[in-house]
Structure 1
Amino acid sequence: MLNKKLLFSVAFACFIAAAHAQVTDTATHKTAVDTTVKAVSLTLDTLKYDSLMLNVANGDRSGRWPVKKAPYPLPGAVLPFNRIVAYYGNMYSKNMGVLGEYPPKIMISKLQAEVKAWEAADPNTPVVPALHYICVTAQAYAGKNGLHNLRMPFNQIDKVLDMAKPINALVFLDFQVGFSTVQQEIPPIEKYLQMSNVNVGIDPEFSMKEGSVPGKRIGTFDAADINFVSDYLAQIVRKYNLPPKILVVHRFTERMVTNYKNIKLHPEVQIVMDMDGWGGPDLKKGTYKYFISQQPVQFTGFKLFYKNDIKNPPKRMLTKQELLNLKPVPMYIQYQ
């Protein structure tokens, strides 16, 4: 039975989703997931990488894409050799995303169907499935530590890893820090980051630097916050001799990410700026244009909401072909 604090967290998680304007055995897991990254090789094919990055730019004539400051990644990089299709959510809430909405077998089946649909839409790009799990959720309740967040128990992360294993899926551990910081919240999961298929997502919406309760205002991360996470992941990659990690940063307003030009890039880390807002096709494409495409970092992502995107006319989600027509083409697709 869930305790009162956890029951509250689940209830508030439902509120957050509705208001969104837009271990067991670590060694065993590590052994089992070392084959998940499809692009692993001893060397990086730089000619193929350059060619694929031009394909990602998709005829962009602004000069922003592909990003010129980006270094070549270490061998084993997932992007741009593959597209990632992820299911997002938290297993304590059916309203925070599709990952927790359905029983695991049904959820995995739906994810695999989306993977096949993306492979059909873009046959030249292999698709890697992913589970994007919110492991620290923002809370209206301050909690004993006063940080307005709740860390999920490790046994829940273990369950996500177990679900990912049979389909060779990547796993993203996502952080809604509340009154806390990425500097405080991310290091405690280092044992999971030692695994080759485990990556990180951070959500500026729930980084409440100005002191508002999560859900009352949209939060913010600065380039310095993103650089801390990227630097930390780069150290993990070097320490454990891993393929590059992927860092997903959610964004749907200008203020959510400040000083984007100061974001540092590493061969050990691939950064995805993910268009996270919900709404109709035109609104979402506009958000992508102004806050993702026109403020280039490295790679781009796009979130689709099975429910919120169809609330208002024209009551439809963007099609896969519409996303493939964007400049640049998003290489990370997330479903909530």
Structure 2
Amino acid sequence: MRSATRAGGAVSSTALTSTALRSTALTSTALTTALAGGLVAVLAACTPGAGPTSAAVGGGGGAGPGAGASAVASPSASPVAPVPRPSATPTAPAAATAGAVATPRPPAGTAVVAPDDAVAAAVATSAALFATAPVVVLAPVEDLRAQVRAARAAVALGVPLLLTAGAAAGPVVAAEVDRLGARVVLHVGAAPAVPDAPDAPDAPDVRDVVAPADDAALADLLGRALPAVADGVAGDGSPAAVLAVTDAVAAASPAGTAPAPSPAPVPGAGAGPARDAAEALLRRTRPGPPAGTGLVVVDGGTPSPAAAASARAAGLPVAVVAGADVAAADAVVRVAASAGAPLAPDAPVLAVGAFADPGTLAWQVRAASTGVQLPGGGQRVLPGRHLVALYGTPGAPALGLLGEQGLEATLQRAREVAAPYDALTDAPVVPTLEIIATVASAGPGDGDYSSELDPAVLAPWVDAAGAAGAYVLLDLQPGRDDFLTQARAYEDLLRRPWVGLALDPEWRLAPDELPLQQIGSVGVDEVEAVRAWLVDLVRREALPQKLLVLHQFRASMVQGRERLTTTRPEVAVLVHVDGQGNQPAKAGTWAALRRDAPPGLLWGWKNFLDEDTPVLTPEQTWAVQPTPDLVTYQ
């Protein structure tokens, strides 16, 4: 049974209670939410005849998805059985309900809601963030302006905002209204009535109330001021307009709404117990306690602000991220501002849109919440910028340009070497220091033929580079030691967001080998161990992506390179082609090392000032194809 009222006047029964809305053509494939065991479950397809498909969540290599992470698949995922209402206890009459509030809840771990359309996204967000709600706000998906008004009402009441498409509210929406235990559906715009849920024909009566067109009258109906949303943001439904609307809704605050002094009747409304009961419930409905801690991240490309509205209604902060790219510079600013402080490792996160798998997303959002920006902006080293580096060791002129002058002069020289590349690309060009931290030694030293610089000696160089907007690579020449053991010795420096790692297999020796008597080599398993360790470090410390450089000028220097993992976003992997001599020979080395390389590798080029004939100019270096991601001067 359903009843309909319009605040301020009568409403046509055919508009809201047509038996066509209960047609068997609206058979639901499935909707539900499974909320036990820390999972937010699947929203299945509601289109008649839609066939199920599986939704993939990626991973592999290095650290897997974080603990407590869960995925909410698209509506085309395999259907699951509907969940009944939270309680079979009869609901009290609406007029007798005092201080009605929804029951928001935080996301379960980290969850990604990736439905195919705005209607499904709104339902999935409601399912993830609300256990119950006395009222649901409904707006047509085709009317962005109505959604703005509906969002303001939902945030003011602290209840979910759902959407309808076409002339009927489908069974997925009906099932969610029933699951929430809603007694009133507030229609904003030309939203149709919600049919009885197919799986709950005996559910308590739900009243449909049509919102008045005037904002003042709507606020009076709710007994509560509407949150302010910037005028003129609704636009024409274009992606830019949707982004502006979602931004505005994400900033709306129920704390900024004030209740009316008393539940006075709505002016112009006719008499009637059903209408009076529904409107009384609307006036008594208030935001409940915030849904704990956590953050909701919404893809700015989603076609509706409904998810952001439901999140704000649940009392959670919202970050709107363009293109679902959490590592972009603007996204880092937005996430950090919305979070207010770096998120704890177990902070719940709900993402709505085409985001990464939950484990990856948990790391990305935690890292972004720190507000740290890498040199050049954002939290992705490569691709998207180019690094131009000086190579060497502080205080050792014989080992490269970096050691030919003091710290401040080195930073100035790095800027001067990088400057000509600025005119060759629209991407940021970042001055970089590649510091040899462990130097291959002719003598055994402590037995490994490698001299390790004290991290405390390197720290002033590393910190000054970061303060100057430069990136740093710590280069390892391990001798008879292994790369992972040496990398661990510099973990404190590698915790700095702007510090990456470079491995030089030329100086990786077998137990019976000596420096300069052969070209060293390393097996890919040792490289993979370093890469996996870096992935774990990045995740554990909520760091931005790190760069791992692999120096190479012969194929034999990295054995099994085809098995190198290049797909983990925590660590970008780059092969630095170190060939020297005449340019045809260097071009041949470049081509040979690129042959049969695993996909996803990045590439670096080295200009040797004394050995190359001739040394390429910046313009000639930029003509190398593909354009190098890293250019080093030695």
Q: TM-score range by the shorter chain?
A: 0.7 to 0.9
Q: Give the 5 Å matches for 1:122-133.
A: 122-133=424-435
Is 1:107 aligned to residue 410 of structure 2?
yes
Q: Give the 5 Å matches for 1:40-59.
A: 40-42=329-331
Once the two structures are superposed, residues 296-335 of structure 1 have per-residue CA deviations (whole angstroms, 9 ceiling, x without a partner) of 45100011112222xxxxx321232333233322101111
Q: Give the 5 Å matches for 1:113-262.
A: 113-120=416-423, 122-143=424-445, 145-209=446-510, 211-262=512-563
**What is the CA distance between 1:163 and its match in structure 2?**
3.3
**What is the CA distance between 1:210 and its match in structure 2?**
5.9
Once the two structures are superposed, residues 242-288 of structure 1 have per-residue CA deviations (whole angstroms, 9 ceiling, x without a partner) of 11110011000111111111001211000010011221211111111
Work out which structure has the larger RCO, using CA pairs closer than 8 Å and 6 or more positions apart in sequence: 1
Say which SS state the counterpart of residue 417 (structure 2) adopts.
Answer: helix
Is 1:316 aligned to residue 614 of structure 2?
yes
| Alpha-carbon distance between aligned partners in 1 of 2:521 and 2:502, rounded to the nearest angstrom | 14
Write the letter of the residue equivalent to 1:279: G
Moved more, 95-104 or 322-331: 322-331
Moved more, 248-257 or 153-162: 153-162
Once the two structures are superposed, residues 156-178 of structure 1 have per-residue CA deviations (whole angstroms, 9 ceiling, x without a partner) of 21131143134211111110000
Whether the 8 Å contact between 2:562 and 2:596 is mirrored in structure 1 is: no
**What is the CA distance between 1:155 and its match in structure 2?**
2.7
Is 1:300 aligned to residue 589 of structure 2?
no
| Alpha-carbon distance between aligned partners in 1 of 2:535 and 2:508, rounded to the nearest angstrom | 23
Whether the 8 Å contact between 1:204 and 1:251 is mirrored in structure 2 is: yes
| Alpha-carbon distance between aligned partners in 2 of 1:243 and 1:294, rounded to the nearest angstrom | 29
Write the letter of the residue equivalent to 1:321: E
| Aligned with 1:98 (options 393, 401, 409) | 401
Name the counterpart of 1:334: 632
Say which SS state the counterpart of residue 229 (structure 1) adopts.
Answer: helix
Write the letter of the residue equivalent to 2:437: C
Name the counterpart of 1:5: none
| Alpha-carbon distance between aligned partners in 2 of 1:141 and 1:80, rounded to the nearest angstrom | 40
Show structure 2 runs of 5+ residues with no match.
1-326, 333-359, 365-377
> What is the TM-score with the length of structure 2 in the denominator?
0.40
Is 1:325 aligned to residue 620 of structure 2?
no
Write the letter of the residue equivalent to 1:258: Q
Name the counterpart of 1:52: none
Cα-Cα RMSD: 2.2
Write the letter of the residue equivalent to 1:102: Q
**What is the CA distance between 1:146 and its match in structure 2?**
1.2
| Alpha-carbon distance between aligned partners in 1 of 2:425 and 2:509, rounded to the nearest angstrom | 41
**What is the CA distance between 1:294 and its match in structure 2?**
4.6
Say which SS state the counterpart of residue 399 (structure 2) adopts.
Answer: coil
| Alpha-carbon distance between aligned partners in 2 of 1:191 and 1:245, rounded to the nearest angstrom | 14
Write the letter of the residue equivalent to 2:589: T
> What is the TM-score with the length of structure 1 in the denominator?
0.74
**What is the CA distance between 1:41 and its match in structure 2?**
4.9
Whether the 8 Å contact between 1:83 and 1:126 is mirrored in structure 2 is: yes
| Alpha-carbon distance between aligned partners in 1 of 2:330 and 2:507, rounded to the nearest angstrom | 37
Is 1:84 aligned to residue 387 of structure 2?
yes
Once the two structures are superposed, residues 115-171 of structure 1 have per-residue CA deviations (whole angstroms, 9 ceiling, x without a partner) of 210111x2312101111111111111112x311111101232113114313421111
| Aligned with 2:592 (options 265, 275, 290) | 290
The percentage of counterpart residues that share the same residue type is: 28
Structure in which a larger fraction of residues adopt helix: 1
Count of residues in correspondence between the two structures: 265
Whether the 8 Å contact between 2:395 and 2:406 is mirrored in structure 1 is: no
| Alpha-carbon distance between aligned partners in 1 of 2:328 and 2:608, rounded to the nearest angstrom | 28
| Alpha-carbon distance between aligned partners in 2 of 1:237 and 1:205, rounded to the nearest angstrom | 27
Whether the 8 Å contact between 1:275 and 1:292 is mirrored in structure 2 is: no
| Alpha-carbon distance between aligned partners in 1 of 2:520 and 2:475, rounded to the nearest angstrom | 15
